[in-house]
Chain A
Amino acid sequence: MAGEKRLSKRLRKKRLWGRVSNVYAFLVYLFIYVPIIVMVIYSFNDQKNNYYWNGFTTEWYEKLFTNSDLVGYLGISLIVAVAATIISVIIGTIGALGLVRFEFKLKSVISNSLYIPIVVPEVVLGISLLMLFEIANFPLGMTTMILSHATFCIPFVVIIMRGRIAGMDLSIEEASMDLGANRLITFFRVTLPLLIPGIMSGAFMSFTLSIDDVIISNFVAGPYATTLPVKILSMVKTGLSPEVNALTTLMVLVLLVGILINNAVQALLKKRALTNIKSYF
C-alpha cells in the first residue's frame, strides 16, 4: 500500500525530530568525552612531552607499576576519600534527621546556613582550615586532610538526606514502635534500611568531592600526605609525565567497569522481581 511508504506529514516530522535529537545527544557526549579520549590515546603515546603522536607504546603503564610513586598517591587519595565519606555520611545523616524531625529555635537559620560552606570559595575555606590547624598546633597530615574533606562534604550529605527524610512516612516508624520495638531497634531495622538509597547517594557525592579536591587539599596536605590530584598539579609545574595519563586511564576503566556491573546487577534484580511476581499467578 502507498500508505506504508508515504508516511503522514506528522509522522515524518516526528521521525525527523527523533533523528535530530539523537545527533544532538551524540554531540553532547562527544563534547564531554573528547578530553578523556585524548588522554586515553596519549597514555599510549611513545613521546614524553605529549605534543604530537609518535607511535604506540605501553611503556608508561610498565613504569607506573615498576618505578612510579603515583600509585602511592592514589592510595592516599582513596584512604582520605573513604574516611571522609564515612565521617560525613554518619554526621550528615544524624544532622538531617535532627533538622527534619525536631522543632527548635532558629531551625531555619541553622538549616539554611548549610549553604555557606558550599558557597564560600574553596581557596578561602582552605586558608581558614590551614590557619585553624596552625592555631590549634595540629600537625598537618592525613588526619587534617580527612577532617577538612569531611567539613565540606557534610553539608552536601545533610542536604541530600534532608529531602529523603522529609519524604519518609513517619507512621512506618510509629508502626515499628507500636509493634514493640524500642527506638534503637526501630532505627536499625526500619529507619536505616529505608534511608540506604539516600545514604548511598550522599556517600557517592562525598567520595567524588573528596577524591576530586585539589584546592583545599593543597593547603592542608602537609609533606607526608599528598593526594593524587595535588601531586599531579605540582607535576604540571615541573613537567607532566605520561604516567599520569596511564594512571587516569586505569581509573576511568575501573569506573566504567563499575558502572557496567551496577547496570547488570540492577537489570538482574528487576528481572528476578518480575519473575517473583509472575510465580504468584
Chain B
Amino acid sequence: MAEHIVSLKKVNKFFGDNHVIKDLNLDINEGEFLTLLGPSGCGKTTILRMVAGFEDATNGTIEVQGERVEDKEAYERDVNTVFQSYALFPHMTVFDNIAYGLTVKKVPKSEITRRVKEMLELVQLMGFEGRKPDMMSGGQKQRVAIARALINNPKVLLLDEPLGALDLQLRKQMQIELKRLQKQLHITFVYVTHDQEEAMTMSDRIAVMNGGVIEHLASPDEIYKAPKTRFVANFIGESNLFTGKLESLENGIGGVATTLGKAKLELSGFEPGEEMHICVRPEVMKYSKEPVDGFSLRGTVKNVIFVGAQYRTLVTMEDGYDVKINRVKQNKDLKEGDDIYLYWEPDDATGIKA
C-alpha cells in the first residue's frame, strides 16, 4: 500500500527560535536515488537526521514504508546512515565494524562471516578485514562505512555528504561507484550534498533546498533546463537572469519588457502583465552585431576568458550586469569594447515567476 518508501508530510523543525524546516512535504520513491541539494544551513542534513531518528520533527509526520516512525528510536528504524565523518568505530577492526549491525542482532557467527565477506567484495576491500580504521585512507574508510550500513539490508540508505572529505579525483571515482552500488542493490538512496555537480552525476531526482523549503524537485535534466525559481537558476549551473514584465503572449511566445530591453521566449502558465524573470544559460546565449527581431538587449564586450573547457565572454549591460556567454570555440569575431546585441532562441530560455 505504500507507494512511497519515505514520506514527509507538513514537517516543521525548530531549533529554539530557529525555524529550520518549514512545512515540508517530500515523497521518496522506492529504489530511486534522491539528492537533497542546497547551501549549508538550508536544512538538508536536518531532514536526513529526522528520517534516521537522530532528530525529532517539531510537528508533521514522517513515514517509512507507510509506517509512522515518530515513536521509533533510531535503532528500531529500517534505515541506515553513512556519515560525513565516516564515524567508524576506531577501536574495532574493519571486520568488526562491518559486522557490528549483525552482531547486535545476534546473527549466527558463520552467517556474519559470510556476509561480511560479501560486503568486503562489494566495496572492493578484500584483505582489509584485520585493519583498524586509522590505518586506512579516507576513501577506504568511506567504503567501510558504506559496507557497514549496507550489510543490514536497509530499505533506505541515508548518505550525509559522504564524499565531502575526499579529494576531487577520488570523489568522482566514488560517485560512479555509489551509483553502481545503488543500481546493483536496488536500494533507495537519499543523498545530501551541497555539490551540484555531484547531485547531477548521480541522482534520479534532485530536491533543491533553500531556507528550509524545497524550491524545486525534479530530474537533474529538468532542474537545469527549466529551473522553477530564481534561487534554483542561480544555484544550479550558471545562468543569466533578466527581470521584467510580460507584455504580450501569442501562440505560446511571450514578449517581455525587461529592465534592459525587449526579449521573447516560449511560455506557458503566465498571464500578460505578470512580473517575471528570464533565465538563459550561458551556452545558449546568442549575439549579433545587428538588432534581432523581438530583442533589444544591448551590451559591451568586457573580456574573453579561457576557462579550460570553454571560452567565456562577459558582456556588460547598461546597468552594469555582466552577461556570460560560453562557447567551446573562441568567438574570434568578438573583441573588447565591441557593442553587440544579445538574443536567444525562444525555446532556450525559461520563464520564472517573480
Residues of A in contact with B (beta carbons under 8 Å apart): 169, 171-172, 174-182, 185, 190, 193-194, 273, 276-277, 280
Contact = CB atoms under 8 A, between A and B. Distances in A.
B81 A280 contact: no
Contacts of A182: 73, 75
B152 A177 contact: no
Interface in B226-252: none
Interface stretch (B33-41, B111-119, B125-133, B346-354): B125-133
B51 to A, nearest CB: 11
Contact of B101 (A179, A194, A277): A179
B166 interface: no
B90 A179 contact: no
A174 B87 contact: yes
Given A169-B87, A174-B83, A194-B91, A179 B128 contact: no
A175 B54 CA distance: 10
A124 B189 CA distance: 63
Q: How large is the interface on B (under 10, 10 to 19, 20 to 34, 35 or more residues)?
A: 20 to 34
B101 A171 contact: no
B298 interface: no
Given A175-B83, A175-B148, 9 more contacts: A172-B90, A175-B87, A175-B145, A176-B89, A180-B104, A181-B100, A182-B75, A194-B91, A280-B127
Nearest to B160: A171
Contact of B104 (A172, A179, A276, A280): A179
A180 B54 CA distance: 13
Interface string B88-107: 11110000000011001100
Contacts of B100: 176, 179, 181
Interface of B: 52-54, 73-75, 79-81, 83-85, 87-91, 100-101, 104-105, 127-128, 130-131, 135, 145, 148-149, 152
A174 B54 contact: yes
A182 B85 CA distance: 21
B342 to A, nearest CB: 49
B352 to A, nearest CB: 38
Q: Which of A171, A172, A174, A175 gathers the greatest number of chain B CB atoms within 10 Å?
A: A175
Contacts of B128: 280
Contacts of A169: 85, 87
A180 B135 contact: no
B79 to A, nearest CB: 8
Contact of B75 (A177, A276, A280): A177
A184 to B, nearest CB: 11
Contacts of B131: 276-277, 280
A171 B85 contact: yes
B98 to A, nearest CB: 10
B147 to A, nearest CB: 12
Contacts of B87: 169, 171-172, 174-175
B89 A190 contact: yes
Contact of B130 (A174, A177, A276): A276
A177 B55 CA distance: 13
Nearest to B128: A280
Contacts of B52: 174, 178
Given A171-B87, A194-B90, A178 B135 contact: no
Q: Which of A177, A190, A273, A277 gathers the greatest number of chain B CB atoms within 10 Å?
A: A177
A277 B131 CA distance: 8
A178 B130 contact: no
A171 B83 contact: yes
A264 B75 CA distance: 42
